[in-house]
Amino acid sequence: MTTSAPESVDALTAALREQAYLADRGLATVVHLSLVLQKPLLLEGEAGVGKTELAKTLSAVTGGRLIRLQCYEGIDVAHALYDWSYARQLLYIRTLEGDAARDAHATLHELFGPEFLERRPLLDAIESSDPVPPVLLIDEIDRADDEFEAFLLELLSDFQVTIPEIGTIRAERRPRVILTSNRTRELHDALKRRCLYHWIGHPSLEREIEIVRVRVPGVPELLAAEAAAFVHRLRELDLTKAPGVAETIDWTQALLALGQEELEAGVVDATLGSVLKHHEDIERVRDAGLRELVSESRSG
C-alpha cells in the first residue's frame, strides 16, 4: 500500500504516535523538515533512546520500504554498496565454454553487467523504483572508520555512485535517510554539514511513563509508573552503562510476564538482567541499596 509523508509537524506527531512512537515537538519538527527538504537526518544519543526505532516507525508511517545498513569497524564498499556475484559469473562462463565463436571482449563486458551485481543497502536505496521513496537507515555510523565516512560524503551530497564497469547510477528520487550515532567517536564536520541534526536524550519521567504505557499494552498504570521511576533512579548512579528507554520497555514486559502489578524488591533483584547489561552495574545497584531504590520508586 502506497502512502506519503504527513504534511505538518502535528500530523507527523500523530502518525508516529499511532505506531506507538512518542516524539516530542523538537524531534517531530526536525523529522518533518528532513522529509520536506529531502535532507539526511543525523540522530545522536545514548543507546536505547529510540534512534533506530524512529527509522523503523517512519518507514511504517510513510509506506516506504526500510533499507538498513548496519555499520561496524572495517565496513567497506563491497558490504555497503555493491559486490559482484562471482558464483553467477563462474556459472555463466561455464555455459559459454566451447563456444569458439564467442567474442571474448563481449563476454567480459557481459560478465560485469548489471545482472551480475550483488546490490547492497546503499545501491538498493539509490536504484529503488518503489512507488514511495525508501527509508535508508545508516545505523551506528560512529562504528565505521574515517574512510567509510568519507565515502558517504559524495553519496549524501549527490545521491549517485559510480561503478567503473557500468557507469554512474543516480537516484531518480532521493531516499529518506536517517543516520544514527551513539557517539563512540566524533563524526567529521563535513558529514554533519550534509545532514539535519538532533540529539535524543533520555525522556522526562512523565514522558517515559507514557512511552511504557503505549509500548507495553495492558501494563498496569502503577507498574508503568514505578518501573520508569526505578530506571530514572538507576540513571543517577555511577553505572558503566545507564539503561535506555528500550531497557525500561523490556524490563516492564518481563515484570508483566511474571504477573507483577507493582514493584517488589525480590522480583526486581531477580530481573535486573533485563534492565542492566553489566555484572558490575548489577552489583553496584545491590550495594547502593536495592530495597531503598524500590521503596523510593514506589513512593514516587
- The pLDDT tens digits for 36-69 are 999 999 999 988 999 999 999 999 999 999 999 9
Query: Are 175 and 135 contacting, i.e. CB atoms less than 8 angstroms apart?
Result: yes
How many whole angstroms separate alpha carbon 64 and alpha carbon 133?
Answer: 5
Query: Are 133 and 171 contacting, i.e. CB atoms less than 8 angstroms apart?
Result: no
Q: With a cut of 90, say whether residue 201 has pLDDT above it.
A: yes
- The pLDDT tens digits for 213-229 are 999 999 999 999 999 99
Residue 1 banded pLDDT, cuts 50, 70, 90: very low
CA-closest candidate to residue 155, choices 170, 145, 142: 170
Residue 17, all three cell numbers:
504516535
Greater pLDDT, 107 or 188: 188
Residue 151 banded pLDDT, cuts 50, 70, 90: confident
How many whole angstroms separate alpha carbon 62 and alpha carbon 128?
Answer: 15
How many whole angstroms separate alpha carbon 104 and alpha carbon 135?
Answer: 41
* Predicted pLDDT of residue 87: 80
- Quick one: average pLDDT of 241-262? 96
- The pLDDT tens digits for 166-177 are 888 889 899 999
Specify the DSSP class assigned to residue 63: -
Residue 108 banded pLDDT, cuts 50, 70, 90: low
- Quick one: average pLDDT of 183-207? 94
Q: What SS3 class is residue 176?
A: strand
* Predicted pLDDT of residue 59: 97
**Mean pLDDT across the chain, nearest whole number?**
90
- The pLDDT tens digits for 61-97 are 999 999 999 999 999 888 999 888 788 878 877 777 7
Distances in whole angstroms, Cα of residue 76 to Cα of each of 52, 149, 198, 280: 21, 10, 26, 35
* Predicted pLDDT of residue 222: 96
